[in-house]
């Protein structure tokens, strides 16, 4: 049996660390009553002002500048790792070694070797070791998945998956960890990891990758003077520039079992698209769409209505869809929600798992995080085979 | 100086009471740090299971079946009144008499006389007495308001305001307090109160009302067997029916200072519209739109782009708009939010007001709630002047 | 028996006259084969360049500066009257007296008395005398009407009808006939006539009008130096201004048999809305929408799809909808069409009627044009009953 | 000098032949006056009822069952070839040899060798020999192109191009020429040819193709009993089935000079998508979109509006955009148009070219048609290089 209330901590109080901290705070307010609210123990960040703000805001007891203090703390049972990708391995391994449950952000690691080591570490413990594919908690995406599974839509024949962002479109946005690393560590790792995972969530395992292209449009960026967080607007810039090491745009095609095809487009320089994750699924009996800019809805066309009144319909998610009933305080249809809510649902699933409850689908494990990296790696391998005209 | 942390309570644990309870829980997590998180003291509901669920879920210390116990409790400093409209007066008067701060749901009361009495009661104390026009906390609506105020849009010439809901479209939905009371106590009071207030938030005080029409389409409803909450799906029904006493649909036109016109349409039987609050504002220098089914965006057309590239643009709210920065955990653009967030922002404004801080616009006071009822009353008066054909 | 091929003429070669000329040219290319293509005899306009352009373009044999020459011509059997409203009566009466069939533009006349005289003149002949309510030929609007009639949607409970245009939003647009005449001769007569007719097309006869408001925002306009056509961009302006005599904005509510309510908003100063005619119909079993900016589609929500996949669907009109099959050269779904096509369909109906065929619904007669004016007149009467606040 | 009026003929009176016949009828009604209306001489189709209907409808003087009669006719100066792709070469060669001007439908031919022969044949004459890339006449697409060219959008960095149709989604749709031929002769040739051409219209010549995948989902189809036209609904079916020889879905990525990337998705089994051609262009200074289901508009985001009011704007095309002014009878903004209008504009360009006028961009020549096939051929070559997972 797991000690309850569990002590939880967040390592990394940057853009996404905030969402995790809030998620722990509210995880016990959703769904089945009875899960004891976790003790909000610690927030760690090398940049103390971030840790302090997040801890004060969401009610965590203390802050740490060094993540090792969190790992060593006996009152911490579970940690979220929400720092740059190249720090994931060391922290996750230490946490598991210290007997903590771990929720690590995606992509699992910068290399297959790192990820494999993390999987091995997890295999050596009985702790929950999960990776944060948060979009799996989207009510709308789950509603589409239900329609695939139950036959309303039937098997997917073709998935067109786009993730367009503009966090890199301004050449004056500072250098950060997101722009460092070899090919594939750019937009592919950052947001492609999500998209590849969602496609598998809906279509099953990827069986092949073809014809990837990558392009870097802004080849150097100013170094920041202070600490840049998230997509790093607002920070002061130095006169010095550093080279951008990875791709701004990436496009490729995929296959899945049964002849399903996939078409992927990723960008971090898509003017005017702050956060446009779009899925279009052509299935045996219908078509479905999702667009993250309108998180509370999805589109569907099937053969139900008569031909003279058939068309693409926009479904506003409500309590009859996954995750909504009691996932939001007022939970009547169209009340609205967003990505921060997905983190609450994910935190709840993670805590339930630790507690041995199975009300929600469990978080993907590290092996799944490794598998995700394998697909990304295949995309990189698929870049060198163009047919010249 | 006000005691901090403040003790707060919610009276009424129905549909909207849940949103208030969650809002108190999270009010100190948004915006400026430093406001002590309120003590979550009590939830009161005559139907105990509701009180118990809400208290357990959001972390309130105790429940009460009788609201008077809350009013009498010395550890409660502020209460939200979230029960049927005809109970507002008695509870608010008692709360103010007991020295509590009060946030009362809209519409303030079932009659002008009741509302006047409440205003008088508030005038006799130094407590904060506010009315819950929650939509005033919508980031998108505030962004539009900014454009009116700063001249980007300029003065409103015509506002077209619709609130279409379908909570009454199914004749098998049970009888409840929402269907009782004379003309004007139906859809006009329930959601028209919001719309009339929003129009004033954007256009200034109403100066005239014309040509109202009302229609009741479902003239009786089954009595529920258990306790029906909110829009009351799911409850068991008896064989007996009770007459619906008020309007399902209401439409009217208004005027504002400076010749601005308003056109209003309200419905609780709008098939397929769970919660469609829509505003369209035609202004001197442009046009703006808002649609609650997409709470995180608004539309605007102005003369900025050249003629060959001009069109209606859809703006996704982000940290440069009111209420967003630090109002959401991840607060980058398009992260998504909804009505439950508006309640958090409102709770924060209410608590700030009590604490003497003025970071946010204060909640409208009871006098404003009375004024709102006066407009609704004018709508009722304007029903008897049709021109026959 | 009517002579075939019929000789046709268009009086008024302004904005809408062009559409009529093109419509006659192509009327025999749509639907049933066998109608002889009409002889394109004459185009008349006091401003000769317009007549010459239209005749040359669409293949009419001759032009006239004086409409009387058309009326007197023995080779003309049918005329379209497409000039300013205050000229309709004189021309229609003369045409009927000369034994011509007449298609007169809406609104029928500037006054009820004029319209009554025209109806009387028509009653004295056996000629076809029709009024040009062109939107009755919209495939999408007819598709909605079918759903009302056949019970898919059922009886309309509430119609929200908007017509937003911006032809008057620029104060530098010149004075023209559209800005002259008393209250009701402005946006109400110009585009309100269409909207009032469409509402009746869908809901049956208007039974009452309430609470109309009108507002004139641009109170004078520069006189044009040359001849201004249509909405008159591009023409040179004099230094002199003339007062605008009628309303820029008009809003009112209506009733129909069986308790159906209507809400109307009209504007010619709606920034950014060139031509936005929108209908929203709340019916017993569903909701339907139409938006002229997307003429080839309509929206519908009904109960056909299961609750977890229901939502507003956007139907792209195709050959299974009214007017499309053989109404367009390529007529597969989504091929696209617009208002000019409605004029072709209308011309075909008018010519069929003259030929004694009844494949299409006939054009409304002058008595219907008079009835339409009666509703507009009731709107004007309904302006004087506001409830003051 | 070319004889005027020119005699024109259409070979193939199927789905698209109708659009060409109508286009010749109306080509002289658009733009500059002065082009003599062509003589509408002949329509040829092996299936006589189609020829007869089209000739009677659009006013052609005679019909032919054998296309050779058209080629031999001295009163025919220009022919459109609108039959199945594998007939293009023979007819075009014969027409050119007989001294006719030719407008041949896309894709130019079933093989590079055929296309090369046609190009050679054209090079040997001074006749206009053009290929029908009709979408180049879309006002909206040209408006986007203007923004690329003039720097409003700047250079394209990434084009995402989709063409989703459903003409093959129903397994009961009969076998036809569209389902015969090797890999690449299916959806790639049929609609991919358009999309590849449009991408080049906007981004310049394709420089590489990668990672194509194709999939055939419906592997056999019933043979029709009668003559199937276009996408062939409605025809009676035999009990026999024939194998489908080519692809239903195709996806691939491309490159263009300067590092521009392209992502393509094509389908003829996209449930509910009759005709969805969509372009999304990410450029240096902005983003643009086009969707054929709404032919009269395009989307754009650039930096013109201030940040707090910026968003994707939907531009309704009007007379200030290419092809609209005098391209439609009423040509004020939002009047609506569609694909049939593109054919009229194309016919006008073709006739102008023959007449030696250059008001409009000329039609692409056969060499361009050959180039288009080369890109399609590269797509086929790019199918054999997947990276296995
Ligand atoms: N699931 C999702 O939707 C999202 C996941 N992510 C993932 O979350 C992770 C973090 O991303 P962001 O929050 O955007 O990054 P960020 O750059 O905003 O934040 C990282 C934080 O880590 C801190 N940090 C750096 N080194 C540290 C150390 N040694 N110990 C403790 N703290 C340290 C930094 O000071 C910074 O505050 C990444 O793996 C990213 O891929 C990011 C955004 C969304
Ligand atoms: N600001 C907003 O957006 C909204 C405001 N409202 C307003 O909130 C109020 C409540 O509405 P809903 O929550 O929808 O109603 P509801 O019917 O869902 O909930 C009312 C609750 O009050 C309880 N109750 C009844 N009598 C009581 C008493 N004497 N003492 C304590 N509890 C009692 C009931 O058991 C029920 O749980 C109304 O004034 C309504 O107009 C409602 C919805 C949204
Ligand atoms: N059904 C529909 O959708 C529409 C109907 N209309 C109606 O059509 C009519 C004309 O409107 P527009 O074309 O917009 O007006 P317009 O001002 O563009 O054109 C009127 C034309 O009449 C000519 N004219 C003036 N006096 C004349 C005379 N005595 N004899 C011959 N020609 C004369 C003018 O020179 C001008 O060319 C109006 O009744 C209007 O309400 C207008 C637009 C759309
Ligand atoms: N530009 C565009 O947007 C479009 C272009 N197309 C192209 O147009 C061409 C025709 O396509 P559809 O009209 O859809 O085909 P279809 O199958 O509808 O029509 C072809 C017609 O050719 C006739 N035909 C067959 N053999 C003939 C012969 N030997 N002589 C004379 N007529 C003969 C058939 O009876 C049939 O009526 C194709 O090349 C296609 O790729 C098709 C659709 C749209």
Question: What does the pLDDT look like over A34-84, one tens digit per residue?
Answer: 999 999 999 999 999 999 999 999 999 999 999 999 999 999 999 999 999
Q: Is the pLDDT of residue D1 over 50?
A: no
Residues of B in contact with C310 (CB under 8 A): 272
pLDDT single digits (tens) A340-383? 999 999 999 999 999 999 999 999 999 999 999 999 999 999 98
Quick check: helix, strand or coil at residue B338? coil
pLDDT, average across residues D139-144: 98
CATH of A7-135, one of 3.90.850.10, 3.40.50.12160, 2.60.40.3140, 3.40.50.720: 3.40.50.720
Please report which residue ranges of chain B form alpha helices under DSSP H.
15-26, 48-58, 67-72, 88-97, 112-123, 139-149, 187, 193-203, 339-355, 366-381
What's chain A's average pLDDT? 95
CA distance D72 to D40: 16
Domain map (residue ranges) of chain A: 7-135, 139-294+296-331
Taking the CA of residue B299 and the nearest CA in chain C, the distance in Å comes to 12
**Measured between beta carbons, which residues in chain B are less than 8 angstroms from residue C247?**
none
Asked if A272 lies within 8 A of D209 by C-beta distance, the reply is no
Does residue D189 register a pLDDT over 50? yes
Cα(C193) to centroid(ligand 3), Å:
15
Flag whether pLDDT at C389 surpasses 90: no
The closest CB to that of C275, out of D22, D294, D332, belongs to D332
| Percent of all residues in chain B with a pLDDT value above 90, rounded to a whole number | 91
Q: How far is residue C153's CA from residue A305's CA, in Å, rounded to a whole number?
A: 13
Fold of the domain built from segment(s) B7-134: Rossmann fold (3.40.50)
Q: How far, in Å, is the centroid of ligand 4 from the Cα of D4?
A: 28
DSSP assignment letter at B189: I
pLDDT at A1: 44
Compute the average pLDDT of residues D267-280.
97
Tell me the chain A residues in contact with residue B270 when contact means C-beta distances shorter than 8 Å. none
Which of D330, D337, D340, D343 would you mutate first to test chain C, the one with the most C CBs within 10 A? D330
Residue of chain B with shortest Cα separation from D302: B305
> Do the Cβ atoms of C22 and D329 come within 8 Å?
yes
Gap from C179 CA to chain B (nearest CA, Å): 19
- Work out the pLDDT band at C1, boundaries 50, 70, 90: very low
Q: Are B55 and B23 in contact (CB under 8 A)?
A: no
Characterize B42-76 residue by residue with b for buried, 16 or more Cβ atoms within 10 angstroms of its Cβ, and e for exposed: bbbbeeeebbbbbbebbbbebbbeebeebbebeeb
- CA-based nearest residue in chain C for residue D276: C334
Which CATH architecture fits A139-294+296-331? 2-Layer Sandwich (3.30)
Q: Which candidate from D147, D152, D311 shows the least CB-CB separation from B315?
A: D311
Do A76 and A38 touch, CB atoms closer than 8 A?
no
User: What is the predicted pLDDT for the residue at A3?
Assistant: 66
Q: Which ligand is nearest to the CA of D179?
A: 4
pLDDT of amino acid A333: 80
Tens of pLDDT, residue by residue over C221-253, are 999 987 776 676 678 899 999 999 999 999 999
Q: Give percent above pLDDT 70 in chain A.
A: 96
In chain B, residues with a C-beta closer than 8 Å to the C-beta of D314 are 311-314
Chain A residues within an 8 Å CB radius of B338? 296, 328, 335-338
Instruction: Please identify, by atom number, the ligand 2 atom nearest to the C-alpha of residue B44.
Output: 31
Check: complex ipTM more than 0.90: yes
Quick one: pLDDT band at residue A386, thresholds 50, 70, 90?
A: low
Question: Is the CB of D210 within 6 Å of ligand 4?
Answer: no
DSSP assignments along A42-82, one per residue = EEE-SSHHHHHHHHHHHT-SEEESSHHHHHH-TT--EEEE-
Which residue, judged by its Cα, is nearest atom 3 of ligand 3?
C134
Please state, in angstroms and as integers, the Cα–Cα distance from residue D227 to each residue in D46, D233, D234, following that order.
Answer: 10, 11, 10
Segment B271-294, tens digit of pLDDT: 999 999 999 999 999 999 999 999
Cα of D37 to ligand 3 centre, how many Å?
27
Pocket of ligand 2 (CB under 6 A): B 11-17, 44-47, 50, 67, 82-85, 87, 105-106, 132, 134, 190, 227, 229-230
The total of other beta-carbon atoms located within 10 Å of residue A225's CB is 13
Q: Indicate the helix (H) or strand (E) that contains A112.
A: helix A112-123
3-state DSSP percent of chain B in helix, strand and coil, to 5: 35, 25, 40
CB pairs under 8 A between B and D: 68
Q: How confident is the model at residue A334 (pLDDT cuts 50, 70, 90)?
A: confident
For residue B1, pLDDT over 50 is answered with no
Structure tokens, D69: 């009669």
Query: For the CA atoms of A88, A94, A96, A101, what is the dihedral angle to 10 degrees?
Result: -70
| pLDDT for the residue numbered A226 | 78
Residues of D in contact with B305 (CB under 8 A): 302, 304-305, 313
pLDDT bin (cut points 50, 70, 90) of residue A2 is low
Nearest ligand, measured from the Cα of A231: 1
Chains in contact with B, where contact means 3 or more Cβ–Cβ distances below 8 Å, are A, C, D
Tell me which chains share at least 3 CB pairs under 8 Å with chain A: B, C, D
Q: Domain B139-294+296-333 class? A: alpha beta
How many angstroms separate the alpha carbon of residue A227 from the centre of ligand 1?
Answer: 12
Inspect the interface and report whether the beta carbons of C158 and B249 lie closer than 8 Å. Answer: yes
Strand (E) or helix (H) holding C72: helix C67-72
The yes-or-no verdict on residue B93 having pLDDT over 70 is yes
In the reported structure, the alpha carbon of residue C206 is separated from the centroid of ligand 3 by a whole-number distance in angstroms of: 27
pLDDT at B232: 65
Query: Does the pLDDT at position B385 exceed 90?
Result: no
> Hey, are the CB atoms on A269 and D283 less than 8 Å from each other?
no
Tell how far the Cα of A249 is from the centroid of ligand 1, in angstroms: 21
Confidence of residue A211 (pLDDT cuts 50, 70, 90): confident
Minimum-distance CB partner of C213 among B162, B261, B283: B261
Distance (Å) from CA D16 to ligand 4 centroid: 6
Q: Which of D53, D59, D329 is opposite residue C340, by nearest beta carbon? A: D329
What is the predicted pLDDT for the residue at C105?
Answer: 98
For all residues of chain C together, what is the average pLDDT?
Answer: 95
Q: What percent of chain C has pLDDT over 90?
A: 91
Are D7-135 and D139-294+296-337 equal in CATH topology? no
Q: State the fold for domain C139-294+296-332.
A: Dihydrodipicolinate Reductase; domain 2 (3.30.360)
Report the share of chain D in percent with pLDDT over 70.
96
Ligand 1 atom at minimal distance to the Cα of residue A85 = 39
pLDDT bin (cut points 50, 70, 90) of residue D383 is: confident
Ligand nearest to the CA of B66: 2
* A–B CB contacts, 8 A cutoff, strictly below: 125
Average pLDDT, chain B: 95
Mean pLDDT of all residues in C366-386: 91
Least confident of A265-269, A279-283, A306-310: A306-310
Quote the CA–CA distance of C247 and B229 in Å, as a whole number. 47
The Cα–Cα gap between C81 and C45 comes to: 11
Q: Is the CB of C5 under 6 A from ligand 3?
A: no
Mutate which of C330, C333, C339 to disrupt the D interface (most D C-beta within 10 Å)?
A: C330
Name the residue facing A314 among C143, C146, C312 (closest C-beta): C312
Residues of chain C in contact with residue D63, where contact means CB-CB under 8 angstroms, are none
Are D329 and C337 an interchain contact pair (Cβ–Cβ within 8 Å)? no
| Chosen from C210, C288, C307, C370 to mutate, greatest number of chain B CBs within 10 A | C210
A389 falls in which pLDDT band (50, 70, 90)?
low
**pLDDT of the residue at A388:** 63
% of chain D at pLDDT higher than 90: 91
> Which pLDDT value is given to residue D334?
80
3-state secondary structure of C268: coil
**Over residues C211-225, mean pLDDT:** 93
**Interchain pair A330, B231: CB under 8 A:** no
What does DSSP assign to residue D150? T
pLDDT in tens, A92-137: 999 999 999 999 999 999 999 999 999 999 999 999 999 999 999 9
Q: Is the CATH number 3.30.360.10 carried by domain D139-294+296-337?
A: yes
Verify whether ligand 3 is closer than 6 Å to residue C45 (CB atom): yes
Residue C387: pLDDT over 70 = no
């Amino acid at each position: 049996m797991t000690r309850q209330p569990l002590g939880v901590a967040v390592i990394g109080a940057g853009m996404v660390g905030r969402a995790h901290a809030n998620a722990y705070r509210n995880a016990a307010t959703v769904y089945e009553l009875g899960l004891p609210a976790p003790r909000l123990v610690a927030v760690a960040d090398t940049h103390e002002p971030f840790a302090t703000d997040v801890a004060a805001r969401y009610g965590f007891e203390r802050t740490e500048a060094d993540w090792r203090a969190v790992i060593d703390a006996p009152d911490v049972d579970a940690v979220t790792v929400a720092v740059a990708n190249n720090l994931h391995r060391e922290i996750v391994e230490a946490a598991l070694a210290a007997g903590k449950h771990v929720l690590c952000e995606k992509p699992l690691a910068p290399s297959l070797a790192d990820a494999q080591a993390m999987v091995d570490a997890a295999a050596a413990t009985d702790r929950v070791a999960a990776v944060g594919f948060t979009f799996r908690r989207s009510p709308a995406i789950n509603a589409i998945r239900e329609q695939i599974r139950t036959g309303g839509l039937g098997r997917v024949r073709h998935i067109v998956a786009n993730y367009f962002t503009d966090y890199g479109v301004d050449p004056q946005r500072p250098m950060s960890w997101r722009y460092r690393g070899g090919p594939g560590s750019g937009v592919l790792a950052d947001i492609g990891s999500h998209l590849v995972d969602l496609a598998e969530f809906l279509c099953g395992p990827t069986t092949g990758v073809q014809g990837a292209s990558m392009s870097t449009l802004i080849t150097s960026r100013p170094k920041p003077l202070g600490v840049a967080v998230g997509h790093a607007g607002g920070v002061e810039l130095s006169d010095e520039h550093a080279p951008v090491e990875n791709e701004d745009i990436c496009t490729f095609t995929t296959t899945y079992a049964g002849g399903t095809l996939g078409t992927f487009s990723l960008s971090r320089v898509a003017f005017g698209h702050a956060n446009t994750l779009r899925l279009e699924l052509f299935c045996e009996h219908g078509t479905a769409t999702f667009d993250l800019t309108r998180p509370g809805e999805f589109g569907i066309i099937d053969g139900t209505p008569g031909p003279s009144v058939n068309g693409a319909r926009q479904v506003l998610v409500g309590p009859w869809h996954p995750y909504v009933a009691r996932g939001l305080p007022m939970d009547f249809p169209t009340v609205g929600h967003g990505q921060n809510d997905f983190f609450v649902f994910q935190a709840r699933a993670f805590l339930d798992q630790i507690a041995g409850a199975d009300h929600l689908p469990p978080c993907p494990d590290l092996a799944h995080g490794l598998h995700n990296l394998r697909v990304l790696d295949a995309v990189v391998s698929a870049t060198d085979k163009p047919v010249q005209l």
